[in-house]
Structure 1
Amino acid sequence: MSLSSAISNSLSGLTATSRATEIVSTNISNKSVAGYARRELDLSSRVYAANGGGVAIDGVRRMVNAGLLGDSRISMANAAGSSAVASFHATMETSFGTANDSTSLVTYLTALDTAIVSATARPDSDVRLQGVLDAATELAGKIGGIAQGISDARIAADKSIANDVGRLNTALKRVAELNRQITSFSAQGQDPSSLVDARQAVLDDISSIVPIVEVTRENGRVAIFTKGGGTLLDGTTPAKIEFTAAGTITPDMTVENGALGTVSVNGKALSQSEMQIFSGGSLAANFEIRDKLAPAYQEQIDAFAREIYDRFADPSLDPSLTVGEHGLFADGQSDFTAGTERGLANRLSIAAEMDPAQGGQLWRIRAGRNATDAGDAGESGLLLRMSTALSENRSPASSALPGAPKSLLGIASDIASQAASLRLRSDTASVQDQTRSEGLRTALLAEGVDTDTEMQALLTLERAYSANAKVLQTASNMLDELLRLT
């Protein structure tokens, strides 16, 4: 019957506009909620066999640009990784210091040179000899401080890896749980959009740790893979990521010698090449800091420590020494041997024979480490040769330093300059990645809730509701008129 169809159609229209109004109100109320995606009501014509009939609600659709969301997540990972690297290089630049920094490596080296020159003029002065000892001690302390800073950076990166792995496991479990809830809601005919919002927020958090690719599965579930091809979640159970922090890290500890570990997935430890599945993001950046960037700085400061050691351990500088014996600077309190360069910066110290605090004699700075007596108090030959050793251009003994002949001051300046250059490059990369990430995030948010658009939709719904109500009222009146005639 046509009047019955009209009433049915208008009722379906009222139902649809009521549901659409609810969605508009939800959009407006969640405008400022992070991770919320604008909803739209999917409608279609409701068709019956004999006569057509009204509108059908097909469901609620979350309005998300999947391509833009994927790009945004990749950019978030890049930004997090480059930020960690930039922060590390900034710390290293501060450790080595700049030319105008009163605590720079160059400043301490210059102070030693100044003290030696001063003592050369008055080799009989214990005050000036003490000045040489103090400057040498402070230089060794500065070198050791830089080396300790490098170890601290490796320890911090190691702890950050453990923290990232913990966050990743927690997030993956949450995604798996949300997958189950979304599937359940969908099966019961309920709208799972709020759960999908929550899942998207969790996936965004994962993206700062490792770049991910989201793949849609049946019943609203998603599978999660790393950009490098690793499977994090595909099914009901997420991958189990494990990592054990070392706690304390010394210069000799590396992945290659087994002292430091990598990540294991589902009980299988990954090799360094297999770790490529986690490339990008803060997790990979912290591995790079711990295993590559920091050790490279360690090699340089160790090589510099060796250069200082070698120049002051030369028998042509201090005739009281035999070949292989240490001079003013010692490896701990021992002689340096080839093959033990790694960690030398941490061990560099002042020879006990020249340090009264260690039972030595100040006059040995003037007479020689192995001298048996004070000799001529006015003899400045050793001090002059010390000054020459600092300023003379020599090819470094260590392959970790450039082979061109340089003075110690030149080598120190080059190392500090390289640290500053790496900091500048990493800062530039970080700013670029951050800018891209923020740009994509802004573009993603621009596709979110627009209150002006929602208010316009609300006015349209108001008119549609009134029209459907009018149709319902008219059809009801016509039907009542027919009933009165019977």
Structure 2
Amino acid sequence: MSLTGALNAARSGMSTTSRWAQTTSSNISNANNAAYSRRTTVMESSASGGVTVSEITRAVSSSLDGQYRDEVSRTGTQDAIATGLSLYTSELGDTESDSTLLTRLTDLQSSLSLAAATPSDSGLQRAAVTDAQELADQLNSASEKLGEASDTALDAINTDVAGINSALADLAEMNAQIASGKLSDSQEMALGDEMTAKLDSLAEQMDFTLRTDSKGRVEIFTTGGTALLQGEVATEISFDASTGVLSAGDVEITPGVSGARGISEGSLAGQISLYNDIIPEMSAQLDEVARALVSVMEEADASLGAGDAGLFTDAGDALGDPVEAGLAGRIAVNSAVLPEEGGALWRLRDGMAATTEGEANDATQLNAFISALDSTTSFDSSVGLDDSATLAGYMSSLIASQNSTRANAETQAESYAAGAMTVQETRLGFMGVNVDDELQQLVTIEQAYAANAQVMSTVLSMLDTLIESF
């Protein structure tokens, strides 16, 4: 090799190691940045015998990215359901709790039995009426908590929709920057990191499929195939609370709807499932408890005429046909047995429509109430529970089923979160920065730089000697 060739090779080596050092330093400085993908300097030999940087690449695995986002979306779905039901199920209690619909019913049955043993005792009548009020209040409170859960779910849906639209708009702008051709290599890689972080965040709210077009721009579709982002155009997502329909432009993408070409996972899917399906079914089950309670007590009351209300009422009225939704929130004890509302306690013994006080020791009506609460009655099986059971049995099934819905979602959320963490560890191992490796590279870079510098120094010394010889 000529002295000039050696000088050029050493100079190119020093230039290459300088860029290599910059890349390695950047890696080390971003070692704790989860959104940063490790840069790798790719070098190749030049025709003149030197070395040049052919490219600097980002460590990216589309397979690991996709697996991680899938797990994150599934976690988001179940976490939304579990969190959305937590306050309601706390109010509902479980089969081991001291204060539930079931314990309130048991208290009422016990107090009615005591009153039947001593029908003339107004104190025992008062206790039974109080227990009836507490049972009605428990149903009212549970219904209210479900209503609050529904409102919270709707707020979360609107927040997620706004967040998704914002993320899609940001990604569309990033696509425009990529397509402009004006970005330097370092700017394009930094934008790639930003885009990865944005897509990871989007996966928490919804699942999606991802493609890259010929210009390097990302294209996003629902898992059902509806386009959300193509090129630099994002499709706006919207939710109609009155119909429960989620749309991308004019295409329905509601999760769980057959043929909707929509999303199926993510916090948005979980909240919509709560709002459209889970909470309405739970509310209908509570209404069935209230309906059966009103109905059996009406049927057991011999004093009632057509249209008269029994011990339990629909906001003061007899049970309607059909029953309007939300009965659990309206059920109340008949004012006919409430002294504070102009009623009389003895009507618990004689019947709600009794106009005069009956025989003080006659427990016939009280025993009829007790029998009614113990009897098997019919329920609407379309709301997801038994079609025939005692009130106590139905309440027990309701409490167990609704707590199970929340507990199962919580368990699945934890399982998916563990899966996401496992994939993320592998992903970070691939794309993340190992500081020890980078420091070792710095040692190699230092050695390469020193060797090239020594070559240049030697060549220059030899050139000086040659010049001095003339």
Residue 11, structure 1, aligned to residue 7, structure 2? no
Answering whether residue 115 of structure 2 is matched by residue 119 of structure 1, we say: yes
Residue of structure 2 in register with 1:339 after alignment: 322
Question: In percent, how many aligned pairs have the same letter?
Answer: 31
Kindly report which structure 2 residues correspond to 1:305-320, keeping only aligned pairs within 5 A, or say none: 305-314=290-299, 317-320=300-303
Per the alignment, residue 275 of structure 2 pairs with 290
Equivalent-residue separation in structure 1 for 2:11 and 2:247 (angstroms) = 59
| CA contact 1:306–1:398 (8 Å) conserved in 2 | no
Shift of 1:370: 1.1
1:362-402 CA-partner distances (Å, limit 9, x unpaired): 22111111111112222211111111111223344665465
1:40 is paired with a residue whose SS is: strand
- Equivalent pair of 2:111/2:131 in contact (CA under 8 Å): yes
CA shift for structure 1 position 94: 2.3
Quote the Cα distance in structure 2 between the aligned partners of 1:359 and 1:401: 40
Counterpart for residue 465 of structure 1: 449
**Are 2:404 and 1:408 aligned?**
no
Segment of structure 1 superposing worse, 471-480 or 11-20: 471-480
Q: Does 1:455 align with 2:439?
A: yes
Judging changes above 3 Å, is the alpha-carbon distance between structure 1 residues 185 and 454 closer, same or farther for their aligned structure 2 residues? farther
Name the stretch that deviates more: 261-270 or 16-25: 261-270
Distance change in 2, residues 1:19/1:398 (3 Å): closer
Aligned length: 467
SS of equivalent to 1:211: coil
Aligned: 1:55 with 2:51: yes
Aligned to 2:287: 302
TM-score normalized with structure 2 length: 0.93
Q: Which residue of 2 aligns with 1:252?
A: none
Q: Which whole-Å deviations, capped at 9, do the CAs of 1:27-81 have from their partners, x for residues lacking one?
A: 111111121111111222223xxxx341222221111222111110111111111
1:443 aligns with 2:437: no
Structure 1 residue corresponding to 2:65, chosen from 55, 63, 69 = 69
Aligned pairs for 1:37-48 (under 5 A) are 37-47=37-47
Map of 2:221 onto structure 1 = 225
SS of alignment partner, residue 232 of structure 1: strand
Equivalences for 1:2-401 in 2 at 5 Å? 2-47=2-47, 52-184=48-180, 187-188=183-184, 190-243=186-239, 246=241, 259-266=242-249, 272-273=257-258, 275-314=260-299, 317-322=300-305, 325-396=308-379, 400=383
Residue 254 of structure 1: aligned partner: none
Matched AA of 1:173: A
Given that residues 85 and 285 in structure 1 are in contact (C-alpha distance below 8 angstroms), is that contact kept between their aligned partners in structure 2?
Answer: yes
Matched residue type, 1:294: I
1:438-464 Cα offsets, whole Å, 9 max, x none, are 111111122211111111111111111
Matched residue type, 1:304: V
Distance 1:178 1:399 in 2: 49
Q: Runs of 5+ in structure 1 lacking a partner?
A: 247-258
- 3-state SS of the aligned residue for 1:60? strand
Deviation track 1:166-212 (CA, whole Å, cap 9, x = no partner) reads: 11111122222233334456555554222211111111110100112
Partner SS for 2:414: helix
Q: Secondary structure at the match of 1:117?
A: helix
Deviation at 1:268, TM superposition (A): 5.4
Give the Cα separation in 1 of the matches to 2:287 and 2:100.
Answer: 17
Q: 1:434 to 1:226 in 2, by over 3 A?
A: same
Unaligned stretches of 5+ residues in structure 2: none
Aligned residue for 1:278, secondary structure, equals: coil
SS where residue 419 of structure 1 aligns?
helix
Task: Report if aligned partners of 1:302, 1:341 keep a CA contact under 8 Å in 2.
Answer: no
Alignment partner of 1:481 out of 450, 456, 465: 465
User: Using the alignment, how far apart are the partners of 2:153 and 2:348 within structure 1?
Assistant: 42
Letter in 1 for 2:414: V
Deviates further, 70-79 or 444-453: 444-453
The SS at the match of 1:460 is: helix
Instruction: Give secondary structure in 2 for the equivalent of 1:374.
Output: coil
- Contact 2:229 2:235 survives alignment (8 Å): yes
Q: Structure 1: how far apart are the matches of 2:451 and 2:59? A: 28
Partner amino acid, structure 2, of 1:122: T
The code of the aligned residue for 1:37 comes to S
Matched residue SS, 2:356: coil
1:250 matched residue in structure 2: none
8 Å contact from structure 1 (residues 366, 383) kept in 2: yes
Over 6 Å off, 4+ runs? none
CA pair 136-288 structure 1, distance change in 2 beyond 3 A: same
Once residues 273 and 46 of structure 1 are traced to their aligned partners in structure 2, the CA distance between those partners, rounded to angstroms, is 59
Are the counterparts in 2 of residues 185 and 192 from structure 1 also a CA contact under 8 Å? no
Distance 2:363 2:124 in 1: 12
**How far apart in 2 are the matches of 1:318 and 1:212?**
59
